[in-house]
């Protein structure tokens, strides 16, 4: 058991350095193209840090086609990752620094998170997320990306920069390369963490659905934890919040949709009875806390503590009644 533990710690170190590269490069891109930190977090970083969930869902779909049932791993990973982000990670980050939002971001993206969770719930009510529903989730996700990118005038800003003859200190290609390297470290580190966490969990004979929600889900959201903390420590608060909100949209729509498109997924009843409703409830609480003063942070530590307690309550109920 010593080797898996050491490899798990190694994975966490990769996550930390990877997130550092991503945050710094994203800040430079935001500055060069006049794109807000929040939008960078909602798009580039949230997709990049969700790659472990995306690949988990795709591989689960491939296993289903091969006759190896892995639906519980796929759906459980999305739920576990997102719920951990919106409670534990947001709470811990809020205890360290302050994250600000705007009414526009809160209502547009916050509502989109709730829509994504609701879509996942209603599609799974019959116990099956079909290929067609997977396509609907993916198309819905790209429509959302199109509107927020159009709203922020990203294309116009990038085109203007490309046609500019001014010599800029910031090289966008270097920044994008660093983001790719950072995301690579995040993925590599996540694989170390998840693989070895599974080895440790298997020693205790845990069920597939439990592993998906409590082990893999938590492991695959470590990139978001690292990136959110780095964002706070490096004064890129909007990247931290944007990453967490963006991942809660990416995972239930694009990650789940990608896997379901391959094979379709079975949805366990206990996920519909407890996990998804609790996730929806916790998200509403988090959004209401943000709405109070358009921020959440160390000025009012009760907010962060409340979110952490929500996660602890979830874990207790999950272990006690749904293990």
Q: SS3 for 35?
A: coil
Give the pLDDT confidence of 242-275 residue by residue, as tens digits: 778 888 999 999 999 999 999 999 999 999 999 9
- The mean per-residue pLDDT over the stretch 85-107 comes to 88
Query: Which of 47-61, 90-104, 225-239 has the weakest average pLDDT?
Result: 225-239
pLDDT of residue 169: 61
Do the beta carbons of residue 52 and residue 223 sit within 8 Å?
Answer: yes
Interval 296-319: pLDDT, tens: 887 788 999 999 999 999 999 999
pLDDT beyond 90 at 228: no
**Which is higher by pLDDT, 38 or 120?**
120
User: In degrees rounded to 5, what are phi and psi of residue 297?
Assistant: 180, -165
What percent of the chain has pLDDT above 70?
87
**CATH 1.20.1420.30 for domain 38-154+203-321:** yes
Of 242, 257, 256, the C-alpha closest to 212 is 256
Range ranked top by mean pLDDT from 100-109, 196-205, 217-226, 275-284? 275-284
With both helix axes pointing from N to C terminus, report the angle between 131-151 and 237-250 in degrees, rounded to the nearest 10: 150
Q: Reply yes or no on whether the pLDDT at 183 is more than 60.
A: yes
Domain boundaries, given as residue ranges, for the chain: 38-154+203-321
Q: What is the pTM of this model?
A: 0.82
What pLDDT score does 35 carry? Answer: 66
Cα gap 292→281, rounded to integer Å: 17
């Amino acid at each position: 058991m010593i080797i898996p533990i050491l490899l798990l710690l190694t994975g966490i170190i990769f996550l930390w350095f990877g997130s550092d590269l991503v945050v710094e490069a994203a800040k430079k891109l935001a500055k060069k193209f006049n794109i807000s930190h929040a939008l960078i977090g909602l798009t580039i970083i949230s997709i990049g840090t969700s790659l472990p969930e995306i690949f988990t869902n795709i591989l689960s779909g491939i296993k289903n086609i091969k006759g190896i049932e892995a639906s519980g791993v796929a759906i459980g990973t999305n739920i576990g990752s997102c719920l951990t982000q919106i409670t534990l990670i947001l709470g811990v980050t809020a205890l360290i620094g302050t994250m600000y939002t705007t009414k526009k971001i809160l209502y547009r993206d916050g509502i989109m998170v709730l829509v994504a969770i609701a879509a996942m719930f209603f599609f799974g009510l019959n116990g099956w997320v079909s290929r067609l529903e997977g396509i609907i989730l993916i198309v819905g996700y790209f429509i959302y990306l199109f509107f927020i990118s159009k709203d922020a005038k990203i294309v116009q800003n990038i085109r203007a920069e490309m046609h500019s003859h001014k010599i800029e200190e910031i090289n966008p290609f270097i920044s994008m390369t660093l983001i790719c390297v950072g995301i690579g470290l995040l993925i590599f580190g996540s694989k170390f963490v998840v693989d070895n966490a599974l080895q440790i969990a298997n020693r205790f004979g845990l069920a597939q659905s439990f592993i998906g929600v409590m082990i893999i889900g938590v492991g695959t959201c470590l990139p978001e934890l690292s990136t959110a903390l780095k964002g706070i420590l490096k004064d890129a608060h909007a990247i931290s919040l944007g990453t967490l909100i963006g991942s809660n949209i990416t995972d239930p729509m694009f990650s789940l949709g990608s896997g379901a498109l391959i094979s379709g997924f079975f949805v366990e009843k206990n996920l519909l009875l407890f996990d998804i409703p609790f996730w929806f409830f916790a998200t509403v609480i988090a959004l209401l806390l943000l709405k109070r003063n358009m921020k959440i942070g160390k000025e009012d530590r009760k907010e962060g503590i409340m979110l952490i307690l929500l996660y602890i309550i979830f874990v207790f109920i999950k272990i006690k009644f749904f293990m």
